[in-house]
Structure 1
Amino acid sequence: MAASMLEVRLSKTTKARCVFAACDLKSGDEILVEEPYAISLSTYQDRCDYCFSDRNKLLRCSRCKCQNYCNTSCQRSAWVLHKNECKDLQRFSPGKPSETVLLVARLLQLSKKYSKESNSSDDFPCSLSELQSNHEHFNEQRKKQFVKLLSTLKNYCGDQLPSNQELLHLFGQVTCNSFNICDPEMQSIGVGIYLKSSLLNHSCSPNCTAIFVGTTIHIRAVKAISKGEECSISYIDLMNPSHIRQRMLQEQYYFTCDCTSCQEELLDAEMGSVTCENCSGQVLRRDDTSFQACSACNTQVLPTRISEVLHIEEESRSLLEDCDSFSEKLKSKSKGQENWQNLFKLWSKLSIKQAGVLHIENVYRVRTVDKLYDVAVNLQNWTDALYLAQKVIQSYRKLYPSFHPLIGVHLLRLAKLQHFLGSFTMAIQYLQQASDIIKVTHGLQHELYKQLEEIQSNCIVEARFYSSDTQDKVN
């Protein structure tokens, strides 16, 4: 972080410390780079447990046989914490504890190692004790999660633990301040605590985004930010209607967002829209259980149709909540192709139910098509994948902010598919669109942007070659 770019001061409304621009910032500026205070790799990820690299050959710890490292350098660096947890991993049964349990256990180790004194030179926190917990606001579900974690933690660490109250406070800090660490394509691969980055507040219309290079977090401006304006990121997936986003923020972070996007009624109506039974036009949502008239033919939505919509949305919600962990398990099994075929059938069945009922801009429909795309790629059904990717990008552009990293990533995926299928002109067009976003969200030095430039160069060469070859044949 350049000291002149940011400043931390109390918010006039919340009275809490927030991050503000100390000078005018432009879109694409990198305003904060931070190494993690503590990290934990997702359970089903086959990566280095220290740097999160996905190299093919990993070195496994010969003692616990649980943690993997890409080389001896990573293994030595990890040993500072692993030398204590190695015995716990050997004793723990069954399997390996969740990433949350590992993260909490590592935070307990670090709290003993580092002083609680903070560095006030830049007014950024540099100790865990300065992060908010909000454990006093826990609902029953969160309390049950803590009880479950406490049981697993005792099984993992033994009885040498702080008091339950101290652990409750720590669990609150983890749930309120941890970041999902993502790979270059924005897929979560682990969790981490970043002390300085945790000071950035949430907005559903953020002016900054968080991108990871390995386990290092990079905060970049995605809009022009004036001096004295607060810098914000998004804590949650923005492709949800405002009432769902508000519930998610309240349940995990205990606040209500009042940004401009939360007042945008039209976007909410589109995210929950359904298809008209009469003309197949878009019917905008009014609230959870009622709809406006069809925007094309003015037909009203009948009660039976509303009941059908709510049933399909509930089925979609339930399946989507379970799918991520299931997909990770599929990737770790030997019969991958057969499992992916079964998953394709599952998502296809849901998609058929949704078709003609949920509009293509309904978030449940978008997510289902996105899952179908992911499965099609894993099955190497490239034509299906291209068709699905084209449907997804239309909705992404409508429902996400203009400079959202997922739009750039998905455009790059589309370009790769077009390139693979020999549509070089279309690939170049998508690459340019992806470049316009990724150079802002990821930066010119990010491996994703370098990958984009390489594909673009290949596409240009191949387009010229095949064009020349075709011309020669004509002559």
Structure 2
Amino acid sequence: MSLYVSPRFSSHLADLCIMSDPLLCYLDHHGLSLDHCPSDPTKFRAVHARRHFSRGSTVITSQPLAAIPLPQTKSDYCNRCFKPDRLQRCSKCKVDLFCGKECFTEAWKEWHRYTCRIPTKTNSKPVPDDNDNDDLGLSNTIYGDGKLDEEMLVRVALALAVQRKVLAPPQKGPAAQQTDPSVETPVVTLSAFSTLMSHADLHPPSTIARYKTLARGAILNPVFNAIPDCDLSMLDLTTYLCRFRCNNFAVHDAQLFAIGEGTYPVGSLFNHSCRPNAVVAYKGATQVLRCIEDVEPGEEVVIGYVDPANGRAARRQKLREKYFFTCVCERCCEGEAGGVAFLDEMLGEAQTELERAQEMMNGTPSATQKWIEAEIRRWKQEQNKYDALTPQQILASSNPLTLPAFASLVLNTLVPAIYQTSITDSTPTPKTTYNDLLTALLAHLHARPAPKHVSRNPTMLRTLVTATRLFYDRIAEDAWDEAGRLGMYVLAVYLLMYPRYHPMVGLHTLTLAKCLWNGVVKGPTETDGARARECERWVGVAKWVVAVGFGEGSQVARELEELAGVVQRDGM
């Protein structure tokens, strides 16, 4: 186990602990500390900033102990680095694909020399499992009789077996082998993995039984016979599966679609919050943690384990089932007055699967959909009225909010605090000021009288889900005017649920700008000049959010720059 630096340690002792442990040395080099949390029963430990991190900056990177593509994306990405370019299939096994000789060579050293030409089926018939239904979040099959969990287990076991000598006690190896504290060596990765919680005593008996079945199958896999001196037991493998369940990440592409699954030990050290100040992104198979708000020395760096767009009950259920804790972040503090805790009381919960199925079977639009469509028509007919509305006028009214009025209030209140139109002013509203604006806005929305009909409430999650579906339906139909208005409403709710520079906000703002530009190009009217200026405004907003959430050199940023160039050239 790694040593931990507690705030109770003296500065000298803390420095000694850091110097003697490669993991702590790696974190310290990146301005971070790993601290025990004895006063917080919900946290075993936490990663704190030791210096200032600016929003948009990289906090740290994390290398995968193992990462594999999902079954449906296996043929689209390099099976080692997740790049989609120039893929070539291994000439021996005809199964795994690589982007070039370099990746193939590294994969051969790490794992492919053991798995190449090995049959995918195990040597014994799998033990029947009464709970074979994926309800526990286990992955689907990849090929043959193997499962994604077993594939990940074999790959991690390979990494651990090949590097078993570096897992010796610190005085025998790891500290001596860690030469460059800026680089995450295998010693750091494996040291971090050895500290991850498995919560083996909290998993349901049926899950443990399933893991034992998978571990037994992995041991009987011919791959294990090919590994020299592999002494991993079934208990070891079962414990690793428990760690995967609590710590694995979904690897996603630039559009935030999942393309793989990976074990990222350093990334797993960071705790969860439903209002995170950092996000994870992927550069190939490397995990990159980016700040989406300024982080000050002593402040905990937190990421989101679940989508903040879920309601409180849904988030808590997912966190309990997968991570075995109840979130008590500022958004989840039920019953406390003020702050973002108001948000979930307004949002409510999304439809259940049964409710969605029943609605689809009815074959007719729901009451919520009919109301949204009527509100969008009203918005179009009374465009000048809503354009002239100020937040102060909306706040002064005691009537239930219409959908256009809600969108206008939120966007006109929060968007000016996201970006600056002046090129010389590159400092948007500070985090504390923005949080004050958001808190005051949520307090007003919470206190405002609710509509008589639940289906006519613009602040509810069910309304958002229906509007999002209609948004993409209108895009598919080339109905750009309606898509633009729906997109503005969706963005308004996103700005309440997500931190202002979250990648989801950036992606949606980019999509909104595209809709508005398509409306200018494909529906020429006398108001094209105003519409082009509006599009340019949203391109400007997207630039700020994308630069922070994705980075200026990212694929999304390049796509945005291309759109900005077209708007600048053809819009005026």
TM-score bracket, shorter-length normalisation: 0.7 to 0.9
Q: Does the 8 Å contact 2:79/2:97 carry over to 1?
A: yes
Work out the percentage of aligned pairs sharing the same amino acid. 24
For 1:76 and 1:189, how far apart are their aligned partners in 2? 23
Which residue identity does 2:203 align to in structure 1?
Answer: F
For 1:182 and 1:99, how far apart are their aligned partners in 2? 16
1:436 to 2:544 alignment: yes
1:462 to 2:488 alignment: no
Q: Out of 61, 68, 78, which is 1:40 matched to?
A: 68
Shift of the 461–98 alpha-carbon distance from structure 1 to 2, 3 Å rule, reads farther
Q: Which residue of 2 aligns with 1:307?
A: none
For 1:91 and 1:373, how far apart are their aligned partners in 2? 45
Q: CA deviation at 1:109?
A: 0.5
Q: Does the 8 Å contact 1:316/1:350 carry over to 2?
A: no
Secondary structure of residue in 1 paired with 2:46: strand
For 1:79 and 1:445, how far apart are their aligned partners in 2? 31
Q: Out of 211, 215, 229, which is 2:299 matched to?
A: 229
For 2:64 and 2:292, how far apart are their aligned partners in 1? 22
1:406 to 2:512 alignment: no
Q: Which residue of 1 aligns with 2:50?
A: 22
For 2:66 and 2:59, how far apart are their aligned partners in 1? 21
Q: Which runs of 5+ in 2 are unaligned?
A: 1-26, 123-140, 182-186, 226-230, 334-339, 372-453, 522-530
For 1:164 and 1:28, how far apart are their aligned partners in 2? 43
Q: Which has the higher mean CA deviation after the structures are superposed, 246-255 or 153-162?
A: 153-162
| 1:391-446 superposed Cα distances (whole Å, 9 cap, x missing partner) | 43232222222222101111112222333442643332222111121211222232
Shift of the 85–361 alpha-carbon distance from structure 1 to 2, 3 Å rule, reads farther
Secondary structure of residue in 2 paired with 1:261: coil
Secondary structure of residue in 1 paired with 2:29: coil
1:142 to 2:207 alignment: yes
Q: Which runs of 5+ in 1 are unaligned?
A: 274-309, 320-344, 465-475
Q: Which has the higher mean CA deviation after the structures are superposed, 145-154 or 178-187?
A: 145-154
Q: Out of 340, 345, 357, which is 1:269 matched to?
A: 345
1:86 to 2:125 alignment: no
1:66 to 2:95 alignment: yes
Shift of the 368–153 alpha-carbon distance from structure 1 to 2, 3 Å rule, reads farther
Q: Out of 155, 167, 174, which is 1:116 matched to?
A: 167
Q: Which residue of 2 aligns with 1:77?
A: 106
Q: CA deviation at 1:258?
A: 1.5
Q: Which residue of 2 aligns with 1:450?
A: 558
Q: Does the 8 Å contact 1:241/1:267 carry over to 2?
A: no
Q: Does the 8 Å contact 2:114/2:223 carry over to 1?
A: no
For 1:175 and 1:187, how far apart are their aligned partners in 2? 20
Q: CA deviation at 1:233?
A: 0.9
Q: Out of 132, 150, 154, which is 1:105 matched to?
A: 154
1:181 to 2:251 alignment: yes
Q: Which has the higher mean CA deviation after the structures are superposed, 209-218 or 357-366?
A: 357-366
Secondary structure of residue in 2 paired with 1:76: helix
TM-score normalised to structure 2 length: 0.62
Shift of the 100–371 alpha-carbon distance from structure 1 to 2, 3 Å rule, reads farther
Shift of the 447–350 alpha-carbon distance from structure 1 to 2, 3 Å rule, reads farther
For 1:199 and 1:400, how far apart are their aligned partners in 2? 22
Shift of the 79–318 alpha-carbon distance from structure 1 to 2, 3 Å rule, reads farther
Q: Does the 8 Å contact 1:424/1:460 carry over to 2?
A: no
Q: Which has the higher mean CA deviation after the structures are superposed, 158-167 or 218-227?
A: 158-167
1:40-439 → structure 2 map (5 Å cutoff): 40-45=68-73, 46-55=76-85, 58-80=87-109, 81-91=111-121, 95=143, 97-114=146-163, 115-117=166-168, 119=174, 126-127=190-191, 128-140=193-205, 142-143=207-208, 146=211, 149-150=214-215, 153=218, 162-263=232-333, 264-272=340-348, 313-316=352-355, 349=363, 352=366, 355=369, 358=455, 359-370=457-468, 373=471, 381=478, 383=480, 386=484, 388-421=486-519, 422=521, 424-439=532-547
Q: Which residue of 1 aligns with 2:32?
A: 6
Q: Does the 8 Å contact 2:216/2:234 carry over to 1?
A: no
Secondary structure of residue in 1 paired with 2:307: coil
| 1:262-281 superposed Cα distances (whole Å, 9 cap, x missing partner) | 124421122217xxxxxxxx
TM-score normalised to structure 1 length: 0.73
Which residue identity does 1:250 align to in structure 2?
Answer: R
For 1:346 and 1:151, how far apart are their aligned partners in 2? 43
Q: Which residue of 2 aligns with 1:279?
A: none
Q: CA deviation at 1:373?
A: 4.9
Secondary structure of residue in 2 paired with 1:28: coil
Q: Over aligned residue pairs, what C-alpha RMSD do you find?
A: 3.5
Which residue identity does 1:29 align to in structure 2?
Answer: S
Q: CA deviation at 1:461?
A: 0.8
Q: CA deviation at 1:150?
A: 4.4
For 2:511 and 2:197, how far apart are their aligned partners in 1? 38
Q: Does the 8 Å contact 2:30/2:60 carry over to 1?
A: no
Shift of the 236–268 alpha-carbon distance from structure 1 to 2, 3 Å rule, reads same
Which residue identity does 2:342 align to in structure 1?
Answer: L
For 1:164 and 1:437, how far apart are their aligned partners in 2? 47
- Higher CA-based Rg: 2
For 1:70 and 1:250, how far apart are their aligned partners in 2? 39
For 2:99 and 2:115, how far apart are their aligned partners in 1? 19
Q: CA deviation at 1:183?
A: 0.8
Q: CA deviation at 1:2?
A: 7.5
Shift of the 65–351 alpha-carbon distance from structure 1 to 2, 3 Å rule, reads farther
How many residue pairs were aligned?
A: 400
Secondary structure of residue in 2 paired with 1:106: helix
Q: Does the 8 Å contact 1:64/1:90 carry over to 2?
A: no
Which residue identity does 1:313 align to in structure 2?
Answer: T
Q: Which residue of 2 aligns with 1:296?
A: none
Q: CA deviation at 1:364?
A: 4.4
For 1:147 and 1:438, how far apart are their aligned partners in 2? 44
For 2:147 and 2:167, how far apart are their aligned partners in 1? 27
Q: Does the 8 Å contact 1:40/1:192 carry over to 2?
A: yes
Q: Does the 8 Å contact 1:184/1:213 carry over to 2?
A: no
For 2:467 and 2:61, how far apart are their aligned partners in 1? 34
Shift of the 112–376 alpha-carbon distance from structure 1 to 2, 3 Å rule, reads farther
| 1:358-377 superposed Cα distances (whole Å, 9 cap, x missing partner) | 44543344345445655776
Q: Which has the higher mean CA deviation after the structures are superposed, 418-427 or 381-390?
A: 381-390
Shift of the 354–156 alpha-carbon distance from structure 1 to 2, 3 Å rule, reads farther
| 1:107-166 superposed Cα distances (whole Å, 9 cap, x missing partner) | 010010112146567796643322221111102563365356447646865786943322
Q: Does the 8 Å contact 1:313/1:364 carry over to 2?
A: no
Q: CA deviation at 1:68?
A: 2.1
